[in-house]
Structure formats: C-alpha cells, structure tokens
Amino acid sequence: MFIVPASISAPRLPLLHIEDDCFHSEASTASIASHDEDHSYIRPTFPDDSRAPCPGLNTLANHGYIPRSGRDISFLTLVRAIMEVYNISLPLALMLTVPGFLIYARFQLHWNSSASFSDTESISQSFPSISYSITLSSLASFGPGLKIAHRASLVHPNYPSEKPDTNMLHGFLNYARLSDEQRGCFTIHDLASFRVSRESNLQGPNKLDGIHEQVALGESSLTWLLFAKQISSSTSPEISLSYLEQWFGEERIPDGWTRPTETIGLINARKVAGQVQKEMKIVREAKGK
Ligand code: HEM
C-alpha cells in the first residue's frame, strides 16, 4: 500500500504571479499549457527548469510534449505523451505512470484570478484550484522509501542526478560493436554486458534489490523496443549508436527515428526484459561472476 504524500504549496497572489511571468515568461506559460504546439527540440533554458534521471521523460519535456519547464505535469498529460510519442499501449503507459505518480506526485494549490478584473479586485476575487502533478527533478531522489532511482543507471551517476554524465555516456557507447562495415551498433548482448558491468561495481547495501533489478531490466527493455531495428533479414536487430547518443546524451528524439510501427505492450516489454536478463546471465557465467 502506498502512502500518497500531499504537500500544499504556498498560495501565489496574482501580483506575484505577474512578477514571475515577467521574469520567466516562457517557463511559466509552458507549465500551464498541457503541451506545446511546437515540438522542436529546445534544451532546458531557465534556471527553474526541472529534469529527471530519465531520458524518456526529459525528451518529452525538451520537445514540449509535456511542459517544457518539467514542472506541474499532470497524469493525463504524461500518459497521453508517452502513448503518442513512443507508441506505448495504454496498459503499459499506466504501468509506467501510476507508480511514478503514487511515489512522487504532490498536490499543489494555485490561486487563479480572472484577467478581466482590475488588480485590487482580482486579489479579492481570486479562487483556488488544486492540481496533482509531478516535477521531474523529484524523480532523481534515492530512498529511503520506495524510489525508482537506482545505482546501476546506464548514463547517470550513483547520486541524485538530473542530467546524463558525459563520461558514463562515452563508456556506454564504447560497448558498441563495430560491424563489418565499421559502423557502430549496439546489440542486446552489448546492452546486457554493460548492465552487468554497472551492477558488478555495486557493493553491500548499494547492490540492487529485486525490485530495482526489474526496474533496470524494464528500462533496458524499453530502450531496445524503441530503438532496435533489423536492417536485413540476414542480420540480428541492433540499435544505431547515433540514436543512443542523441536520446541518452542530448535527450531528444533522434534524427531519422520514427516511433515503432507496432504498439509496445506489456507482454512485449516483459519478454524483452527476460531476454536481457538471460543475456546478463550468460555474460556473468562467462566472467565467472
Ligand atoms: C515511455 C516512457 C519511458 C521510457 C522510454 C523510459 C526510459 C528510461 C530509461 C532508459 C532509463 C534509464 C536511464 C539510465 O540508465 O541512465 C530511465 C530511468 C528512469 N525513469 Fe524512465 N522511462 C519512461 C517513463 C518513465 C516514467 C513514466 C517515470 C516515472 C514517472 C520514469 C522514471 C524514471 C526514473 C526515476 C529513472 C531513474 C532510474 C535510474 O536510476 O536509472 N520513467 N527511464
């Protein structure tokens, strides 16, 4: 049973709102709109912009499918964005989003006022509304308590982080094989090998527990299902390095990538997580670990 934390933010008087809007006009507009019409890639621009240790969500924010500020993201906005951008089924989108909301979402009290009133009137006529939403940076925290973040991330360090670590990103990309044409590509075996190397560095209480092992496998499975392509019938599926570099590193929709033609569902995600786990076992056995 989850306990839903409910913190009520301080009411914002309309006057303060106006000052905020002058200071960070784009950030605050973005947090009100459920999503942008313009889906071009824009890196976080304002000091208040918030990001998670999740390339999936940061990419959605950097393209305006969820508020670009990374703040005050509603449940429906997030579910819709995940389904629309990544072609993920409703049950899988719910499975990703519901636990995230139960753990990290907060109630926020907003004070709105009608623009047609004069300033003095609008203060007295303002009315409250409540949203239940998440802010991306809250996802970076580790336990105590049930938190998603773990210490075997592919490109994030072992402490709360909101952006990828450049050295880790290079280490990850270096696991790619060079194919016959000297073209970098990532196989499921490379993904599993890198996971083993990350997990084998963890000692004592930092070792992944059963739940976080499954979380990490789920992340690898989604990465595989979103980006792996079979170039010809005689080759195995692989991920282009440029996709990994742009999605994990720059947190954007990779050039030339189109969302999977087949909807990614729960059964498929579970199946691929099982394949990664099997490959990890093979790698561990080969290393004698
Ligand atoms: C289709 C949607 C999503 C995709 C493709 C995705 C993918 C990923 C990937 C690949 C990672 C691993 C990053 C790394 O190893 O460096 C990750 C991490 C994470 N994701 Fe997502 N994610 C999605 C949705 C979500 C949702 C809905 C939440 C919660 C609301 C979430 C929360 C997190 C968190 C907290 C981490 C950090 C875990 C860690 O320490 O590695 N993700 N995600």
Q: What percent of the chain has pLDDT above 90?
A: 69
Integer Cα distance of 111 and 130 in angstroms: 9
Task: Order the strands of the 177-178 sheet from edge to edge.
Answer: 177-178, 184-186, 239-240
Model-level pTM? 0.85
Q: What is the pLDDT of residue 264?
A: 98
Phi/psi-derived region of residue 251, left when phi > 0, alpha when psi is between -120 and 50, beta in every other case: left
Q: What is the pLDDT of residue 288?
A: 80
Q: Report domain extents, the chain.
A: 14-140, 166-287
Phi/psi-derived region of residue 255, left when phi > 0, alpha when psi is between -120 and 50, beta in every other case: beta
pLDDT at 21 over 50: no
Q: Are 92 and 66 in contact (CB under 8 A)?
A: no
Kindly report the protein residue whose alpha carbon is nearest to atom 1 of ligand 1. 82
Say which residue the tokens 């999936």 belong to: 56
Q: What is the pLDDT of residue 53?
A: 98
Q: Are 175 and 194 in contact (CB under 8 A)?
A: yes
Q: CB under 6 Å to ligand 1: residues?
A: 52-57, 82, 86, 88, 96-97, 100, 139, 148-150, 153-156, 219, 222-223
Most informative mutation of 2, 54, 150 for ligand 1 (most atoms within 8 A of CB)? 54
Q: What is the pLDDT of residue 19?
A: 31
Please tell me which of 75-89, 120-134, 185-199 the model is most confident about, judged by mean pLDDT: 75-89
Q: Which amino acid is at 241?
A: L
Q: Are strands 73-74 and 127-134 parallel, antiparallel or unpaired?
A: antiparallel
Helix (H) or strand (E) holding 145: none
What average pLDDT score do residues 127-154 get? 93
Greater pLDDT, 275 or 21: 275
| 275 to 136, 271, 272, 280: CA distances (angstroms) | 30, 6, 5, 9
Greater pLDDT, 39 or 37: 39
Most informative mutation of 167, 219, 225 for ligand 1 (most atoms within 8 A of CB)? 219
**Cβ–Cβ contacts within 10 Å for residue 176, how many?**
21
Q: What is the pLDDT of residue 20?
A: 31
Kindly report the protein residue whose alpha carbon is nearest to atom 38 of ligand 1. 149
Q: What is the pLDDT of residue 118?
A: 52
Tell me the pLDDT band of 107, cut-offs 50, 70 and 90.
very high
pLDDT at 178 over 80: no
